[in-house]
Structure 1
Amino acid sequence: MDRINVWYKSKLVMIGALLVLKLLLLRTFFFGEIYWSGLPGELLSVLGLLCLAELLAPNRGKGVVFWSLNAVFSFLFFSSALYYAHFGTVPTYAVLSGLNQVPQVRASIGALLRPEQFLFFADFVLAAGWQILRAARRRRRGVVYTYFSEERKNRRWGWNAGVAGLLLVSMVSSVYCVSQGKQINNELVRAEKIGFLNYQAVAAISSREEDRIIAEGDIEQTRADIAKLQGSYPYRIQEGAPDYFGIAKGMNLIVIQMESFQNFPINLKLNNGAEITPVLNKLAAEGIYFPHVYQQIGQGNTSDAEFMFNTSIYPTAAVAMSTGYGNRELPSLPRMLQQHGYTANTFHVNKVTFWDRNKLYPALNFNQYYDKAAFKNDHFNDYGASDEEMYRVGVEKMEDLHARNKPFYAQFVTTSSHSPFIVPASFQQIELPDELKGTNLGNYINAVHYTDYAIGQLIEQLKAAGLWDSTMLVFYGDHFGLQPHETSAAEITASLGIPYHETISRFNIPFIIHVPGKELGIVAERAGGQVDMLPTVANLLGLSLDKEDFTALGQDLLNIDRNVFGVRYYLPTGSFFNDEILFIPGQGFEDGQAVSIKTLEPVADFVKYRQDYDYVTSLMKLSDEYVKLLPKRR
Structure 2
Amino acid sequence: MNERKNKPLQAHFYIVAGLLWLKLLLLRGLFFDRIAWQWIAADLAPVLLVMGVLALITPGRMKKAVFWSLNIILSLLFFAASVYFNHFGSVPTYLALYELNQVFQVKESVESTIELVDYLFFADLAAVMLYSLFRRWKHGSVRHFSSQPSRSARRVYLVVLLVAIIGGGSLSVYSIDSARGITNELVQAESAGFLNYEVVAALKAQEDNGLIGTGDINETIAKIAALEATYPYRDSAGGLPVYFGSQSGKNVIIIQMEAFQNFPLHQSLDGQELTPVLNSLADEGFYFPRVYQQIGPGNTSDAEFMSNTSIYPIGTLAMSTGFGDRELPSLPRLLRDQGYEAYTFHVNKVGFWNRNELYPALGFNGYYDKGYFNNDHFNAFGASDEQLYATAVDKLAALQKKGTPFYAQLVTASSHHPFQIPDSFKKITVPDNLQGTMLGDYLTAINYTDYAIGTLVERLKQQGLWDNTVLVMYGDHFGLQPKDVPAEQVEEALGTPYDERVSRFNIPLIMHVPGMTQGSVVERTGGQLDILPTVANLLGVSLKDEGFTAFGHDLLNINRNVIGMRYYLPSGSFFNDEVMFVPGKGFADGQAVSLDTLQPVTDISKYQGDYDYILKLMGLSDEYVKLLPQR
Instruction: Report the TM range for the smaller structure's normalisation.
Output: over 0.9
User: Which residue does the alignment assign to 2:116?
Assistant: 115
Q: Is the 8 A contact 2:264 2:275 kept in 1?
A: yes
The offset of 1:344, in angstroms, is 0.4
Q: Are 1:266 and 2:265 matched, yes or no?
A: yes
User: Which residue does the alignment assign to 1:218?
Assistant: 216
1:556-595 matches, cutoff 5 A: 556-595=554-593
Query: Does the residue aligned with 1:7 lie in a helix, a strand or coil?
Result: coil
Q: Are 1:346 and 2:344 matched, yes or no?
A: yes
The offset of 1:439, in angstroms, is 2.5
User: Which residue does the alignment assign to 1:249?
Assistant: 248
User: Which residue does the alignment assign to 2:435?
Assistant: 437
Q: Are 1:18 and 2:16 matched, yes or no?
A: no
Q: Distance in 2 between matches of 1:227 and 1:3?
A: 75
The offset of 1:138, in angstroms, is 2.5
User: Given the alignment, which residue of 418, 421, 424 partners 1:426?
Assistant: 424
Structure 2 residue identity aligned to 1:296: Q
Q: Is the 8 A contact 1:87 1:569 kept in 2?
A: no
The offset of 1:517, in angstroms, is 1.2
Task: Sort the Cα spacing of 1:276 and 1:149 in 2 relative to 1 into closer, same or farther, 3 A.
Answer: closer
Query: Does the residue aligned with 2:102 lie in a helix, a strand or coil?
Result: helix
Structure 2 residue identity aligned to 1:255: I
1:498-509 matches, cutoff 5 A: 498-509=496-507
Q: Is the 8 A contact 2:172 2:196 kept in 1?
A: yes
User: Which residue does the alignment assign to 2:145?
Assistant: 147
Query: Does the residue aligned with 2:266 lie in a helix, a strand or coil?
Result: coil
User: Given the alignment, which residue of 518, 528, 531 partners 2:516?
Assistant: 518
Q: Is the 8 A contact 2:419 2:442 kept in 1?
A: yes
User: Which residue does the alignment assign to 1:298?
Assistant: 296
When normalised by structure 2's length, the TM-score is 0.96
When normalised by structure 1's length, the TM-score is 0.96
Per-residue CA deviation, residues 479-511 of structure 1 (Å, 9 max, x unaligned), is 111111111100000111110001101111000
Per-residue CA deviation, residues 408-432 of structure 1 (Å, 9 max, x unaligned), is 0010000011111112122112233
Query: Does the residue aligned with 2:564 lie in a helix, a strand or coil?
Result: strand
Per-residue CA deviation, residues 195-214 of structure 1 (Å, 9 max, x unaligned), is 11111111101110110796
User: Which residue does the alignment assign to 2:236?
Assistant: 238
Q: Distance in 2 between matches of 1:117 and 1:99?
A: 18
Structure 2 residue identity aligned to 1:63: K
User: Given the alignment, which residue of 475, 478, 487 partners 1:477?
Assistant: 475
Q: Distance in 2 between matches of 1:434 and 1:175?
A: 55
User: Which residue does the alignment assign to 1:540?
Assistant: 538
Structure 2 residue identity aligned to 1:622: L
User: Which residue does the alignment assign to 1:490?
Assistant: 488
Q: Distance in 2 between matches of 1:295 and 1:463?
A: 31
User: Which residue does the alignment assign to 2:529?
Assistant: 531
Q: Is the 8 A contact 1:4 1:150 kept in 2?
A: no
Q: Distance in 2 between matches of 1:213 and 1:474?
A: 32
The offset of 1:53, in angstroms, is 0.8
Q: Distance in 2 between matches of 1:162 and 1:410?
A: 65
Structure 1 residue identity aligned to 2:270: N
Task: Sort the Cα spacing of 1:78 and 1:44 in 2 relative to 1 into closer, same or farther, 3 A.
Answer: same
Q: Distance in 2 between matches of 1:239 and 1:55?
A: 73
User: Which residue does the alignment assign to 2:83?
Assistant: 82
Structure 2 residue identity aligned to 1:230: E
User: Which residue does the alignment assign to 2:136?
Assistant: 135
The offset of 1:165, in angstroms, is 4.0
The offset of 1:162, in angstroms, is 4.5
Query: Does the residue aligned with 1:577 lie in a helix, a strand or coil?
Result: strand
Q: Distance in 1 between matches of 2:311 and 2:375?
A: 34
Q: Is the 8 A contact 2:213 2:623 kept in 1?
A: no
User: Which residue does the alignment assign to 1:61?
Assistant: 62
Percentage of matched positions with identical amino acids: 55
Task: Sort the Cα spacing of 1:213 and 1:337 in 2 relative to 1 into closer, same or farther, 3 A.
Answer: closer
The offset of 1:215, in angstroms, is 3.9
Per-residue CA deviation, residues 359-401 of structure 1 (Å, 9 max, x unaligned), is 1111111111100010110000000000111111101110111
Q: Distance in 2 between matches of 1:431 and 1:190?
A: 45
The offset of 1:227, in angstroms, is 1.1
Q: Are 1:50 and 2:48 matched, yes or no?
A: no
The offset of 1:600, in angstroms, is 0.4
User: Which residue does the alignment assign to 1:7?
Assistant: 8
Q: Distance in 1 between matches of 2:249 and 2:441?
A: 40
The offset of 1:29, in angstroms, is 0.4
Structure 2 residue identity aligned to 1:73: L
User: Which residue does the alignment assign to 2:363?
Assistant: 365
The offset of 1:237, in angstroms, is 4.0
Query: Does the residue aligned with 2:94 lie in a helix, a strand or coil?
Result: coil
The offset of 1:260, in angstroms, is 0.6
Q: Is the 8 A contact 2:340 2:406 kept in 1?
A: yes
Structure 1 residue identity aligned to 2:209: D
User: Which residue does the alignment assign to 2:378?
Assistant: 380
The offset of 1:40, in angstroms, is 1.4
The offset of 1:291, in angstroms, is 0.4
1:87-102 matches, cutoff 5 A: 87-102=88-103
The offset of 1:333, in angstroms, is 0.5
Task: Sort the Cα spacing of 1:12 and 1:496 in 2 relative to 1 into closer, same or farther, 3 A.
Answer: same
Corresponding pairs, count: 627
